[in-house]
Chains A and B, each alone.
Chain A
Amino acid sequence: MSEIWRYLETNGDDVLTALVQHIWLALLPVAIAFVLALPLGALVHRYVPARHIALTAGSVIYTVPSLALLLLLPGILGTSVLDPINVVIALTLYSLALLVRTTADGLDAVDTTVLQAATAMGYRPVRRWFTVQLPLAMPVILTGLRVATVANVSMVSIAALIGIGGLGQLFTRGFQLGFYLPPIIIGLVLSVALAVIADVLIVALQRGLTPWARAGAR
């Protein structure tokens, strides 16, 4: 235990930098994927051919090992291997594969009677989408967002293997120092804590945005 404290005293700044970078690298892709998933999910929900393409593409992306993807991307994009943009793009692809699917599922789950009623009340399509359809799909979409966020927090650690920052660097350092435990434990605790905090925040967001979703379950 004291070793851990000593490590933090001498390397505190490094750990903090790694943590901040980890947060960025994990959450930025989820945010980008979330914004992109809304129109793509709507497309998949609406057009059957788009559904097959999207679901196949999603499965293919998931079968590519993350390390391989991180090494492939610089070749495809022409970026430097050490550029964090590779990690952002790789994780955006993973998140997108998940979120497009849950967004489409969320939209599918909306009761068509309710949508017909909205149309019959005199909603125009755009207003209907933003004020009826999307809010009603939110419980499912946010559940997907939880999974994607937690998955990203753990996956960012891989980035350290190709020399990019984040808490994963603490693991690689521990191994380089002959399985020296303090940085490994610190990295582990921080990434678990980060995943838990992110999850709790999204659940809080979910409760705030969709109070009605719990109304029926009395």
Chain B
Amino acid sequence: MIEFEGVTKRYPDGTVAVDDLSLTVDTGQITVLVGPSGCGKTTALRMINRMIEPSSGRILIDGDDVTSRPEAQLRREIGYVIQGAGLFPHRTVLDNVATVPILQGSSRREARTSALDLLERVGLAADLGERYPAQLSGGQQQRVGVARALAADPPVLLMDEPFSAVDPVVRDDLQQELLRLQGELGKTIVLVTHDIDEAIRLGDKVAVFAQRARLAQFAPPADLLAAPADDFVASLVGRDRGFRGLGFADGSSVALTPIDHGVDGLTLEVDHDGRPLGWRGSDGLLPTEGTFSDGANLRTVTDLVILSPAGAAIRVDAEGRADGLVLLADLAGSVRSQQRERLAALASAEEAG
């Protein structure tokens, strides 16, 4: 757990970057700090490993004040991924990854051996190990940056705009990879970004910063989409927040209709194993436009309902056999009741808090 307690950063010229920030980051979760540029999110991040010292207030990691230990020692126990990777150009990939273990006193051979395992872990081929950073693509460099931050197996990982320097396709890969890694490692991650979509995708909780690191809202991404705290958050979250919010809702909560139920003159046709073939109507066989299975989110189900010529999404079991339909009316009812429940929960949480 990382706690900011009334942390303020005032520069000698009078600029206040962070003004009285109090925030608790949960252990083993990804907490995203998001906000416009100059809002103090990076300053807040860098105060955790003392790259920047607060003017007042304290920061605690698992109850210990970060200033209670020498800076260098503290930093070796906190992974750090910097924007644009910041790899050492004069060292090979393996030596880059081995940096922190060597600083901590491991032998070079030992550190390089475990660095090789880490490369694989972040999805890089072992033969890249002897290359120099300049010989890698931007996405590969960023993966090496993550491997380097993880090398000493730190419980806390700080990531400063880690994926902003790569193109959207690579960014998507890297985000997916981070979520997969986090599933294996369960680190306490604090990630800074200006990209609200990235924040919503990666964060277990998202802290929306306004200027001077004023905490506009600190909530799970679904709540951010369902109920933005103010106009600032609403404008940052942007359009389609209702539809995007469905991505966090459970698709299996919608009532199912038997597959032999005809819709608007169309009936579902299945093969002899029960797999859906298409919608049979007076115009012949129309395509199903896809199916969903257990565990799909409400956004996927809604999308299928919209695309389906019958206005009904087809659910399939593990063998791909159709076992139920979601009709537009049931979907609408479910979405409506989920939104009401969420608003009620938020309201009662606010009253309690």
The answer to whether residues A121 and B131 also contact, given A136-B89, A212-B90 and a CB cut-off of 8 A, is: no
Q: Any chain A CB within 8 A of the CB of B86?
A: yes
Give B contacts to A, CB under 8 Å. Answer: 49, 51, 72-76, 80, 82-84, 86-91, 99-100, 103-104, 131-132, 134-135, 148, 158
Contacts of B134 in A (CB 8 A): 212, 215-216
Distance between Cα atoms of A211 and B135 in the complex (Å) = 12
Within 8 A of B (CB), among A123-147: 123-124, 132, 135-136
A-B contact count (CB 8 A): 68
Q: Any chain B CB within 8 A of the CB of A75?
A: no
Question: Binary interface profile of A, 72-113, with partner B (CB < 8 Å = 1, else 0)?
Answer: 000000000000000000000000000000000000000101
The answer to whether residues A117 and B135 also contact, given A122-B75, A124-B72, A136-B90 and a CB cut-off of 8 A, is: no
Q: Are B89 and A122 neighbours in the complex by a CB distance under 8 Å?
A: no
Contacts of B74 in A (CB 8 A): 122
Q: Are A118 and B72 neighbours in the complex by a CB distance under 8 Å?
A: no
Question: Binary interface profile of A, 191-218, with partner B (CB < 8 Å = 1, else 0)?
Answer: 0000000000000000000111101101
Q: Are B132 and A121 neighbours in the complex by a CB distance under 8 Å?
A: no
Q: Are B88 and A118 neighbours in the complex by a CB distance under 8 Å?
A: yes
Distance between Cα atoms of A46 and B94 in the complex (Å) = 31
Contacts of A210 in B (CB 8 A): 90
Contacts of B90 in A (CB 8 A): 132, 135-136, 210, 212-213
15 A–B contacts, CB within 8 A, in A order: A113-B82, A114-B89, A116-B86, A119-B51, A120-B75, A121-B75, A122-B72, A122-B75, A122-B76, A122-B103, A136-B90, A212-B89, A213-B90, A215-B134, A216-B135
Contacts of A123 in B (CB 8 A): 72, 103
Q: Are A114 and B87 neighbours in the complex by a CB distance under 8 Å?
A: yes
Contacts of B148 in A (CB 8 A): 121
User: B157 to chain A: closest CB distance in Å?
Assistant: 12
Q: Are B91 and A121 neighbours in the complex by a CB distance under 8 Å?
A: no
- Nearest B residue to A128 via CB reads B72
Contacts of B91 in A (CB 8 A): 212
Contacts of A122 in B (CB 8 A): 72-76, 100, 103-104
Q: Are A116 and B82 neighbours in the complex by a CB distance under 8 Å?
A: yes
User: B134 to chain A: closest CB distance in Å?
Assistant: 3
Contacts of A111 in B (CB 8 A): 86, 89
Distance between Cα atoms of A87 and B100 in the complex (Å) = 48
